[in-house]
């Protein structure tokens, strides 16, 4: 466990490396690293992209399906047990009826079966939502990693200017894009 945490810590801090002649080598930002890290541990890709404010959001979004899973799984196991106890009661065995949860005691076997199926379905949906949220976390880290070095300075311009083509003897409009400021 200690070695795993050490490796995880070193992966987080892998921004610069010290060479033997004590010069700093700056590594380029890699969207692939952000994607892999976020796939391994949610929020780690966002930390690599230096978007620390997104980490609580990631865990908040992932906590919702986890909480619904716990809730639905608890009620699923209670209704499953109560349904099986009611079936045993119908066959003459009353030993498990006392163990039924007090909130479920007044329900019939048909109602318990219906509730059991609903809670199982909702539990399974919460697993699907968790996987989807994890995937969105990975996609966010990947997209942010790709846009990390995108130039968003004030020197970006888009101009619509009139143009004349002597070769085609036509007039028109040209779209001029200026990506970087050059002197």
42 within some domain: yes
Q: Which whole-number Å values give the CA distances from 39 to 36, 55, 88, 136, 140, in the listed order?
A: 5, 14, 46, 10, 11
Rounded distance, CA 44 to CA 51, Å?
10
pLDDT at 160: 80
- Residue 139 placed within a domain: yes
Q: Which domain holds residue 88?
A: 32-147
Residue 96, both tokens? 């498990």
In-domain check, residue 7: no
Is residue 166 a part of any domain in this protein? no
pTM for the full predicted model: 0.68
What are the pLDDT digits (tens) for 88-130?
999 988 888 899 999 999 999 999 999 999 999 999 999 999 9
Residue 123 domain flag: yes
Domain assignment of residue 8, yes or no: no
Question: What is the C-alpha to C-alpha distance for residues 81 and 86, in angstroms, rounded to an integer?
Answer: 9
pLDDT digit string, tens, across residues 7-63: 655 555 554 444 454 556 666 888 999 999 999 999 999 999 999 999 999 999 999
Tell me if 88 is assigned to some domain.
Answer: yes
- Reference 69, options 128, 117, 115, 113; nearest CA is 128
* Within a domain: 47: yes
* Domains of the chain: total: 1
């Amino acid at each position: 466990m200690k070695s795993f945490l050490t490796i995880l810590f070193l992966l987080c801090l892998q921004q610069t490396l010290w060479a033997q002649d004590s010069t700093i080598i700056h590594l380029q930002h890699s969207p692939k690293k952000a994607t892999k890290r976020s796939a391994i541990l949610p929020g780690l890709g966002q930390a690599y992209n230096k978007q620390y404010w997104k980490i609580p959001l990631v865990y908040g979004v992932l906590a919702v399906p986890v909480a619904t899973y716990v809730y639905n799984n608890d009620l699923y196991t209670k209704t499953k047990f109560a349904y099986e106890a009611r079936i045993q009661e119908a066959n003459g065995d009353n030993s498990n009826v006392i163990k039924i949860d007090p909130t479920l005691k007044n329900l019939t076997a048909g109602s318990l079966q219906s509730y059991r199926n609903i809670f199982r379905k909702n539990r399974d949906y919460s697993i699907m939502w968790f996987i989807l949220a994890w995937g969105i976390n990975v996609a966010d880290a990947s997209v942010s990693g790709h846009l990390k070095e995108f130039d968003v300075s004030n020197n970006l311009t888009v101009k619509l200017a009139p143009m004349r083509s002597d070769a085609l003897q036509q007039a028109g409009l040209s779209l001029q894009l200026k990506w970087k400021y050059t002197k």
